[in-house]
Amino acid sequence: MMAFVIDTNSLSRAWYEAYPIDVLPPFWSKLADAMADGTVISTMEVYRELEKKDGAELFTWMKEHKHAFQELDDECQAAVGQILTEFPRLVMSLKGRTQADGSAPGLVDTRG
């Protein structure tokens, strides 16, 4: 099955700028469905970052979908290390980035 990884910035910008839930509830319904069936996943680092810095409304919505947020296991962290060794500019070291910024902004295709 193909899965897509969503990052903090994508969730936050969608909620507050591009697709506010009061304007486009179908977007959030479809995202919830995709999270429920495993098509869209994220990391617990993203979940924790949303808990710390985003408004209560987005985090309240995310708590309902906590199952879609996964801890990174050793195998995944090793693979990310190999990719970043080969492509060091993939994730630029920018001020304000956090541990949840291990992937390029937006959705990353995780096909095997």
> 15 is in which domain, residue-wise?
4-109
Percent of the chain with pLDDT over 90: 53
Cα–Cα dist 8/84, whole Å: 20
What's the pLDDT at 107?
Answer: 43
Residue 76 has pLDDT above 60, yes or no: yes
Quote the number of domains for the chain: 1
Strand (E) or helix (H) holding 10: helix 8-13
Instruction: Give 103's pLDDT tier (boundaries 50, 70, 90).
Output: very low
Q: How far is CA 93 from CA 8, 96, 102, in A?
A: 16, 9, 11
Residue 70's DSSP bridge partners are 43
